[in-house]
């Protein structure tokens, strides 16, 4: 069996379709980055809201998630997928 002219699905005729899948994943990553950035800004702007004493007592040890860090991580992931989509 001669494998000199073999074409695989990954390295051959269907490689162009990978770009669209990577772009779709990058769009999802950008959507998640925007959502997390919005939540980070929302929590930052509303950090001085006073609640009743009972609620403040219950929530004194509760820390919000680090949405800004998650937004940066999602942006890095989107950049990786975009660079993979347009790599030649």
pLDDT classification of 21: cutoffs 50, 70, 90: very high
pLDDT classification of 56: cutoffs 50, 70, 90: confident
34: tokens are 């925007």
Angle, helices 16-45 vs 67-85, to 10°: value is: 160
**What's residue 8's pLDDT?**
56
**What's residue 41's pLDDT?**
96
26: left (phi over 0), alpha (psi -120 to 50) or beta: alpha
- Strands, DSSP E only, in 1-88? none
* Greatest C-alpha distance within the chain: 80
Query: Tens of pLDDT along 22-46?
Result: 999 999 999 999 999 999 999 999 8
**What's residue 11's pLDDT?**
59
């Amino acid at each position: 069996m001669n494998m000199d002219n073999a074409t695989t699905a990954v390295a051959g005729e269907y490689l162009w379709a990978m770009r669209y899948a990577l772009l779709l994943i990058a769009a999802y990553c950008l959507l998640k980055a925007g959502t997390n950035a919005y939540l980070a800004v929302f929590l930052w702007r509303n950090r001085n809201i006073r609640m009743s004493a009972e609620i403040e007592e219950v929530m004194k040890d509760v820390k919000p998630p680090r949405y800004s860090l998650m937004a940066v991580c999602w942006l890095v992931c989107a950049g990786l997928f975009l660079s993979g989509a347009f790599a030649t």
